[in-house]
Structure 1
Amino acid sequence: MATVRFSGVTKTYGTLPVVTDLDLELPDGSFTVLVGPSGCGKSTTLRMLAGLESVSSGTIDIGGRDVTALQPRDRDIAMVFQNYALYPHLSVAENIAFPLRATRTPRREALARAAEIGESLGLSALLGRKPKDLSGGQQQRVAIGRAIIREPSVFLFDEPLSNLDAKLRVETRTELLQIQRRLGITSVYVTHDQEEAMTLSDRMVVMRDGRIAQLGTPQEVYARPADTFVATFVGSPKMNLLEGTLSGGVFTTGAGVALATDCAANHSSVTLGVRPDDLLLTPRASGGAARVVLIEHLGPRAIVTLEARGTALTSVVETARLAGISEGAGVDLTVRAGGTHLFDTHNGRRLVGTDNG
C-alpha cells in the first residue's frame, strides 16, 4: 500500500496541453475515481501514473519514491484495462498466475496462489477454462485476479467495466469495491460515468480541460458543486440552471419565472441551480407557473419534463405523488428547503457567503 502524489505534473503533445500543473495526493488505501468528459485528461493522468505516458514536467511519487522516470515494471503497480487483455491460450488459473511465472516463481507455487485468489473471486469452478468460455464479468474478475496476485502498492483501473452490459456492470462494480475494501490497496479508477464514480469512490476527482474542477467525497461534490460544470456533470438528471435576479428570497428569470428560495442574499445577476429532486411540483386546476411536457415513469419515481415560459426544467417526482400531474397539465413550482445553489453568472463559480454556501 502507498500514498500517491502528483506535484505540478503537466503533459503536452507538442504545443497542446492535455494535463496542466496537476497537484493531487491520493491517501494510502483510498479508492479515488478520476471522472470527466472525453478529453478532460483523466486517462492521460492514469497512464502517466502507470508509466505508459511520459511526464512533460513535474513529479509523480508512489510510497515516498519518485517514480517519474521509472519504467512501468519498476513502479510496483498493477493495471486492469478496459479490454481485459487475457491470454486466450492460457486457462483462468494460468492467466491469474502469469505475473508470478514472469518472475520465475515455480509453476506449482504460482498456480496454488492463483487458486487461492480464484476462490476469493468466485472463480474456483472456472480455473481450467479458457477466456473464450467465460462471460464478460468472469473475464473481468480474471483480469482483477491477475492484478491482485502481484500484491502491488497501487491498483490502476482504466474504465474496466465499460464493455459490460448494465446489469453485469452493477454486479461487477459491487464485487470490485468489496475486493478493494478487503485488500486495502490504494486504487485509482478512471471513468466517464459519473454514477460509477459516485458509487465506487472514497474521493472523487472531477476533471475538465486537463485540470481539477473539484476534489472531494462523492457526497461533498454532489451537495456543494464548485461550479456550474460540476453541477451539471455530477447528478442524473442534471441540475436545472436558471439565470436571473434574487431579491428578498425570490429568484426571478428574465422571462418572469419566479421561485421562492431559502437564500436571503440579493443579486442583480445570478445563476440559480436546483437539482430535479429538489424541484417540487403542485398541481393546478388551471394556469400554473409551468406546463408538464413529458412524464417518464421509472418504477418508484418519474422524471417530469416541464416548460416554464420558454425555459425547460426537469423534476423527479415519487410515483405516489403524481396524482393530478399529467402531460399538458399546469403546475406550480417550489424549491425544497436547502435545495438552492447559487453561482456567478459570469464565471460559473459557486457563490460563497450566502445561505446556500
Structure 2
Amino acid sequence: MATVRFSGVNKSYGSTSIVKDLNLELPDGSFTVLVGPSGCGKSTSLRMLAGLESVTSGTITIGERDVTNLQPRDRDVAMVFQNYALYPHLSVRENIAFPLRASKTPRAEALRRADEVAESLGLGQLVGRKPKDLSGGQQQRVAIGRAIIREPSVFLFDEPLSNLDAKLRVETRTELLQIQRRLGITSVYVTHDQEEAMTLSDRMVVMRDGRTAQEGTPLEVYNRPADTFVASFVGSPKMNLLDGELVGRTFTVPTGFTIDVDGMAATGPLILGVRPDDLVPVAASGDEAATAHVTLIELLGPRAIVTIEARGTELTSVVETARLTGITEGAAVALSVRPGAAQAFDARTQLRLTGA
C-alpha cells in the first residue's frame, strides 16, 4: 500500500496539451475515482501512473519512490482494463496465476494461490473453465483476480465495467468495492459515469480540459460544487441552472419567470443552482397557472422525473410518486425551492459564490 502523488504533471502530444499542471495526493488505502467527460485527461493520467504513457513534465511518486521514469513492471502497480485482456487458451486458474508464473514463482505455488484468489472472488467452481465459457461479469472478476494475486501497492482500473449491462455493472461494482475495502490497497479508478464515481469513491476528482475542476469526498462535490460545470456534471438528473437576478427572496429570469428562494445570502445578478430533488412543484390555479406547466413525467417506481416548462425555461424536478397528486402532463404548477437548498454561482466566472 502507498500514497500516490502527482506533482505538477503535464502531458502533451506536440503542441496539444492533454493534462495540465495536475497536482493530486491520493492517500494510502484510499479509493479515488477520476471522472469527467471524454477527452478530459483522466485516462491519460491513469496511464502515466501505470507507466504506459510518458510524462512531459512533473513527477509521480508511489510511496516514497519517484516512479516518473520507471518501466511499468518496476512500479508495483496492477491494472484492470476495460476489455479484460484474458488469455483465451488458459483456464481461469491459469489466467489468475499468470503474473506469478511470469515472475518465476513455482507452478504449484502459483496455482495454489490462484485457487485462493478465485475462491475469494466467488470463482471457486469455475477455475477449470476457459474465458469463452464465462459471463462478462465472471470474466471481469478473473481480470481483477489476476491483479489481486500480485499484491501490488496500487490498483489501477480503466473503465473496467463499461462493457457490462446495467444490472451486472451494479453487482460487479459492489463486489469491486468490497474487495478493495477488504484488501485496503490504494486504488485509482477512471470512469465517465458520475453515478459510478459517487458510489465507489472515497475521494472523487472531477476533471475538465486536462485540469482538476474539483476534488473531495463525493458528498462534498455533490453538495458544494466548485462551479457550474461540476454542478451540472455531478448528479442525475443534472442540476437546474438559471441565469437571473435575486432580490430578497425572489429570483427572476429574463423571461419574467420568478421563483421563491429562501435562505440565500447572495443577491443581485447570478446563476441559481437547484438540484431536481430540491425543486418542489405543486398543482397551481389562478394567477399561478400561467407560469409553469408539466411537459413530461417519467415514472421510476417510487420516484418520478418531472419536466417543467416555465416561460421558455425548462426545469427538472424529482418527486416521490405518492406526491404526484394533481401533477399530470399539461397541468399548471407552482414552484418553490426547499429552504436552504439553492446554490449560487457568479454570473461572469461561473464559480461558486462564497457563503451562498
Q: TM-score, normalised by structure 2?
A: 0.98
Residues 8, 21 of structure 2: 8 Å contact kept: yes
In structure 1, the partner of 2:23 is: 23
Following the alignment from structure 1 to structure 2, what is the Cα–Cα distance between the partners of residues 263 and 124? 56
Q: 1:339 aligns with which of 313, 331, 341?
A: 341
> CA–CA distance in 1 between the matches of 2:319 and 2:269?
30
Q: CA deviation at 1:262?
A: 2.1
Structure 2 partner of 1:308? 310
Structure 1's unaligned 5+ residue stretches are: none
Look up the match of 2:55: 55
How many residues are paired up?
Answer: 354
2:264–2:340 CA contact under 8 A, matched in 1:
no
Alpha-carbon contact 1:280-1:334 (below 8 Å) kept:
yes
Alignment deviations for residues 130-170 of structure 1 (CA, whole Å, 9 cap, x no partner): 00000000000000000000000000000000000000000
Tell me whether 227-236 or 246-255 shows the greater mean CA deviation: 246-255
Structure 2 runs not aligned, ≥5 long:
none
Structure 1 residues 75-104: Cα deviation after superposition (integer angstroms, max 9, x where no partner)? 000000000000000000000000000011
Q: Which amino acid aligns with 1:275?
A: R
Return the letter of the residue paired with 1:341: Q
- CA contact 1:248–1:266 (8 Å) conserved in 2: no
Q: Is the partner of 1:349 in helix, strand or coil?
A: coil
Residue 259 (structure 1) shift: 1.4
Deviation at 1:348, TM superposition (A): 0.8
Quote the Cα distance in structure 2 between the aligned partners of 1:264 and 1:148.
Answer: 49
Give 3-state SS (helix, strand or coil) of 1:213's partner. strand
What whole-Å deviation, never above 9, does each CA across 1:168-215 have from its counterpart, x for those lacking one?
000000000000000000000000000000000000000000000000
Task: Indicate conservation of the 8 Å contact 2:264/2:342, yes or no.
Answer: no
Task: Classify the secondary structure of the residue corresponding to 1:197.
Answer: helix
- Taking the aligned partners of 1:323 and 1:288, their CA distance within structure 2 comes to 19
The equivalent residue for 1:78 is 78
Q: Which residue of 1 aligns with 2:240?
A: 240
For the pair 1:190 / 2:202, whether they are aligned, the reply is no
Distance in 2 (CA, whole Å) between partners of 1:183 and 1:118 is 15
Q: Do the aligned residues in 2 keep the contact of 1:227 with 1:349 (CA within 8 Å)? A: yes
- 1:256-285: CA deviation from partner (whole Å, max 9, x where unpaired): 111121245353310000010000011014
Match of 1:215 in 2: 215
Superposition deviation, residue 289 in structure 1: 2.8
Correspondence for 2:199: 199
CA contact (8 A) 1:249 1:265 kept: no
C-alpha contact 1:19 1:45 (8 A) present in aligned 2: yes
Task: Give the alignment of 1:121-140 within 5 angstroms.
Answer: 121-140=121-140
In structure 2, how many angstroms separate the alpha carbons of the residues matched to 1:316 and 1:346?
29
* Partner-residue secondary structure (3-state), 2:187: strand
Shift of 1:353: 2.9
Q: Percent identity?
A: 77
TM-score (norm 1): 0.98
Deviations along 1:108-148, one digit per CA (max 9) or x if unpaired, are: 10000000000000000000000000000000000000000
Shift of 1:297: 0.6
How far does residue 345 in structure 1 lie from its aligned partner after superposition? 1.1
